[in-house]
Amino acid sequence: MNMPHARFHFFAAICAALMVVALPACNRSLSGSKLTLDNYNQISTGMSKAQVERILGPPTSMETKDMLIYKKTVYRYEDGKKFAIITFKNDEVDSKDTNLGTGS
């Protein structure tokens, strides 16, 4: 094997080894999901839908009901077995629930 080819193969092997080590260390979902416990914990009572969406992104599903004296909207976020439910009363966060952090 001549020298330029040997250097190329050596360089390719080093790059492959770095990728094998670096990718698992990223600790990010390859799907790009923003559904993490850290992001969920940033959601607080009184936030607007826009504020929630800036943190968690658009919901997986949404349901709105007019309850006569107030409007109730439920955002559901899902990523595999993980989920978060954000409930809005008159377009402000009223409550939230999740299974994040439970090992699910």
Domain boundaries, the chain: 29-98
The Cα-based distances of 94 to 9, 51, 56 in angstroms read 59, 14, 16
State pLDDT tens for residues 11-28.
656 655 555 444 444 433
State pLDDT tens for residues 75-104.
999 999 999 999 999 999 999 999 998 865
| 19 or 57: which leads in pLDDT | 57
Per-residue pLDDT band at 41 (split at 50, 70, 90): very high
Please check the confidence at residue 31 and state whether its pLDDT lies above 90: no
Comparing CA positions, the residue from 77, 72, 63, 79 lying closest to residue 95 is 72
Average model confidence (pLDDT) across the chain:
82
| 20 or 45: which leads in pLDDT | 45
Q: How far is 90 from 48, CA to CA, in rounded Å?
A: 9
CATH number, domain 29-98, options 3.40.50.1000, 3.30.1450.10, 3.40.50.2300, 3.20.20.70: 3.30.1450.10
Per-residue pLDDT band at 32 (split at 50, 70, 90): confident
pTM more than 0.75:
no
